[in-house]
Amino acid sequence: MQIRELSIPDTYEITPRQHQDDRGLFFEFYRFDRLEEVVGHSLDLKQANTSVSRKGSVRGIHFADIPPSQAKYVTAPHGAVLDFVVDIRVGSPTFGQWDSVLLDDTDRRAIYVAEGVGHCFVALTDGATVSYLVTDVYNPTREHGINPLDEQIALEFPVPADELLLSPKDTDAPGLAEAAESGLLPSWDAARAFYASLDNK
């Protein structure tokens, strides 16, 4: 597999090598050792989630408190989504910026999102299925969101605005500036310290 760091620090695109014959195909969608080489530590996976979405559905921007937050390894086994990583770590050199990766059932890429980085995607097909391997169990008291339509972040959705489907939870979430002013966001220093603690284990 090929692993490429995105423009947001601590996020990576993973492209597997697919082996095809007359029976179909085979590929490794996750290798702890290859990811550990670039991340600096192995992932202590604790939960796996799956969502199925209609075309135009937006999920995110979501994140969890550090520590321990949740690192995510995300794939799309069926259909296609445009997956976004958003740097919401206050003090980061790329704070407020984002990058994206097309996840689909053709190239079968995955994306790694470190703890404290915002995550969002928009479904490009009906029945788009997204699977997440995560490093901590869901804890609603520590989970937060930022409005994915926030103009300061300005995510570029390849779906017409009138076709986007969002939950009230996401549309009611604060924008980036409001979240920062309220102290809701993780800091760059806290994130770096937490990553270093994982590297030393």
Peptide bond into 77 cis (omega under 30): no
Q: Taking the chain, what is the end-to-end CA distance rounded to the nearest angstrom?
A: 25
pTM over 0.85: yes
For residue 201, is pLDDT > 90?
no
Catalytic: 78? no
Domain carrying residue 120: 2-199
Distance (Å, rounded) from C-alpha 25 to C-alpha 131? 19
pLDDT at 42: 92
Catalytic: 132? yes
Q: Which residues pair with 110 in a beta bridge?
A: 14, 75
| CA nearest to 84, candidates 154, 15, 22, 142 | 154
What average pLDDT does the segment 169-186 reach? 97
Percent of the chain topping pLDDT 70: 100
Write down the catalytic residue from 30, 41, 78, 132.
132
Q: Which residues contact 59 (CB under 8 A, 6 or more apart)?
A: 51, 53, 120, 121, 130, 167, 170
For residue 49, is pLDDT > 90?
yes
CATH number, residue 138: 2.60.120.10
- The answer to whether residues 108 and 24 touch, using CB atoms and an 8 Å cutoff, is no
Planar angle of CA 4, 155, 83, nearest 5 degrees:
40
pLDDT digit string, tens, across residues 116-153: 999 999 999 999 999 999 999 999 999 999 999 999 99
pLDDT digit string, tens, across residues 59-86: 999 999 999 999 999 999 999 999 999 9
β strands within 31-146, DSSP E: 47-53, 58-64, 72-78, 80-86, 98-104, 110-113, 118-123, 128-134, 143-145
Distance (Å, rounded) from C-alpha 123 to C-alpha 29? 20
Distance (Å, rounded) from C-alpha 201 to C-alpha 199? 6
Distance (Å, rounded) from C-alpha 131 to C-alpha 172? 25
Query: Sorting pLDDT into bands at 50, 70 and 90, what band is 199?
Result: confident
User: How many CA atoms lie less than 13 Å away from 8 in the CB half-sphere?
Assistant: 26
The number of distinct structural domains making up the chain is: 1
Write down the catalytic residue from 62, 73, 112, 195.
62
